[in-house]
């Protein structure tokens, strides 16, 4: 290849390369423009959607605020209505109480007036005061402390009239003060007397309770129970004869005490008695032979005694044996008595 041909070919290749680059740039520009256009449309669509959401949120907030206002107004109305109802109920209760107090006051005034009239009539007649019916006393006992205090205040307001001090002069005031002082002295004297009477009654009641305790203790001991059985808070338990028999134990304390007296000592004494009887029976069954003569003489024979015949020797021997048996029995009885005395000690 010549130089001219190589140069022409190189120029042609450079030109084609430049064309390709321009075509690629044009194509890339078209794509970029399309992408920009799509992105712009997406952004516009997002902005529209965002505006709608913001508008919807704003509308919801306004709706919520309106609901809060409506609810606050309703709660305010309900609170006002409730307050009015409470005030009305309180007012009705106060009126009812005032009415009841007024009726009670009138009733007590009427009762006081009747009492004063009855006392005046009794003073005129000189008779004794009549007893109040039991129903009124029961009604008085069933009243609460507050009711009693309230009635006491009303009664005192009826009985004790307020003093008109302005209309009194010095002499009248002195007379009234002296009357009040005499009343106080009389009341204090009665109070002291009643207190002393109460102390004496308390002492008498205490003494009577002690006597009752002593009587109950004696009664329990007689029945064979614990001394404190009848003096406790609860009644005594029913003592059964045994846990296997459903019947009440009627034995006295002495009878039940004898069940546990002696114990092993009694068993041992019975066993010794049976053993002694057995041995004694064996001893009674022994063969009774004559004592043999010793160098032509019977044992126990004293010097100078006459010799006894054969029959009399048998009788004498039998008598000696009986006497020996009696002595042995006496010795055994003495030993048993000594053993019993030692056991008792």
Show pLDDT as tens, one digit a residue, over the chain (345 residues): 555 555 555 555 565 555 666 666 666 666 788 888 888 899 999 999 999 999 999 999 999 999 999 999 999 999 999 999 999 999 999 999 888 888 887 887 787 778 778 878 877 776 555 555 555 667 677 778 887 887 787 777 777 777 777 888 888 889 989 999 999 999 999 999 999 999 999 999 999 999 999 999 998 888 777 788 888 777 777 677 677 777 777 777 777 777 777 767 878 888 999 999 999 999 888 876 666 666 666 666 666 666 665 554 444 444 445 555 555 666 677 777 777 776 665
Helix (H/G/I), strand (E/B), else coil: 263? coil
Extract the tokens encoding 247.
Answer: 């019947």
CA distance 192 to 120: 28
pTM above the 0.75 mark? no
At residue 149, the pLDDT reads: 84
Residues 6+ positions from 343 with CB-CB distance below 8 Å: 265, 269
269, with CB counted inside 10 A (0-12, 13-18, 19+), is middle
pLDDT at position 108: 78
How far apart, in whole angstroms, are the C-alpha atoms of residue 3 and residue 9?
10
Going by C-alpha positions, the residue among 205, 235, 241 that lies closest to residue 220 is 235
Q: How far is CA 316 from CA 285, 300, 310, 311, 325, in A?
A: 20, 11, 10, 9, 14
Please give the pLDDT value at position 313: 47
Quick one: 158 exposed, middle or buried, by C-beta within 10 A (0-12, 13-18, 19+)? middle
- What pLDDT score does 27 carry? 64
DSSP secondary-structure letter at 302?
Answer: P
């Amino acid at each position: 290849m010549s130089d001219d041909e190589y140069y022409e070919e190189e120029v042609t290749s450079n030109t084609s390369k430049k064309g390709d680059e321009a075509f690629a740039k044009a194509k890339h520009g078209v794509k970029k423009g399309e992408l920009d256009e799509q992105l712009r449309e997406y952004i516009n669509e997002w902005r529209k959607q965002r505006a709608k959401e913001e508008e919807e949120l704003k509308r919801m907030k306004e709706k919520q605020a309106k609901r809060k206002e409506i609810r606050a107004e309703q709660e305010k109305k309900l609170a006002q209505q409730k307050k009015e109802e409470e005030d009305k109920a309180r007012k009705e209760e106060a009126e009812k109480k005032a009415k009841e107090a007024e009726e009670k006051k009138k009733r007590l005034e009427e009762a006081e007036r009747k009492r004063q009239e009855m006392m005046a009539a009794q003073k005129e007649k000189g008779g004794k005061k009549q007893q109040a019916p039991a129903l009124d006393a029961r009604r008085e006992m069933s009243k609460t402390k507050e009711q009693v205090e309230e009635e006491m205040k009303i009664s005192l307001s009826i009985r004790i009239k307020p003093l008109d001090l302005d209309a009194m002069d010095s002499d009248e005031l002195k007379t009234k003060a002296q009357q009040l002082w005499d009343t106080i002295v009389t009341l204090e004297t009665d109070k002291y007397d009643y207190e002393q009477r109460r102390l004496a009654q308390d002492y008498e009641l205490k003494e009577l309770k002690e006597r009752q305790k002593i009587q109950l203790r004696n009664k329990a001991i007689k029945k064979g129970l614990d001394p404190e059985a009848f003096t406790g808070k609860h009644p005594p338990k029913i003592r059964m004869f045994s846990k296997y028999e459903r019947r009440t134990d009627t034995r006295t304390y002495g009878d039940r005490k004898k069940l546990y007296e002696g114990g092993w000592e009694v068993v041992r004494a019975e066993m010794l008695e049976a053993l002694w009887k057995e041995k004694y029976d064996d001893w009674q069954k022994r063969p009774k032979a004559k004592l043999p003569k010793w160098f032509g003489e019977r044992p126990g024979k004293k010097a100078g005694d006459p010799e006894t015949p054969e029959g009399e020797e048998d009788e004498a021997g039998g008598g000696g044996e009986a006497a020996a048996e009696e002595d042995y029995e006496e010795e055994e009885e003495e030993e048993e008595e000594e053993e019993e005395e030692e056991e008792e000690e």
